[in-house]
Amino acid sequence: MKFRITSEALSLTPLMELVTRPDCGAVASFVGTVRNHHLGRKVTHLEYSAYEAMALEVLQRIEEEGRDRWPEVSFGCHHRVGLLRVGEIAVVIAVASPHRAEAFAACAWYLDRLKADCPIWKKETGPDGSEWVSPRP
């Protein structure tokens, strides 16, 4: 599946294999991991929640809009839900295109749209407590 919401560990390679095509000479990717700080605060883990059915629809809709801009581009996105520790992969995006410029541009665009439009929420936890850092579910 090119679009997936899962509690399982993520890896970029399977997604790259799903978007790669013989007519594409470039694959751009983004791998988002959990970091140990945010805005000067220590972070021990994140917890992602999603309205899964709607999130999958949004991920696919973003691809459709992206293909209107870049007709030759193939998109894929897998996002984790549940508790993630520092260093774990939260999201992988892969974009295949005949040329690198379009692949890089489309990958950055897809990530921005994912963060703005997809009903996936993040709660950050550190030694001083927990806080929703994106709109609450």
Q: CA-CA distance, 130 to 106, in Å (whole number)?
A: 33
Q: Which domains does the chain have, with CATH numbers?
A: 3-125 (3.90.1170.40)
Task: Calculate Rg over the CA atoms of the chain.
Answer: 15
- According to the model, what pLDDT value does residue 136 have? 61
Low-confidence ranges of the chain (pLDDT < 50): none
Sequence letter at residue 63: E
Other CB atoms within 10 Å distance of the CB of residue 68: 8
pTM: 0.94
Long-range Cβ pairs for the range 113-117 (8 Å, 24+): 113/62, 113/65, 113/66, 114/59, 114/62, 114/77, 114/79, 117/58, 117/62
d(CA 67, CA 73): 6
- Confidence (pLDDT) at 135: 65
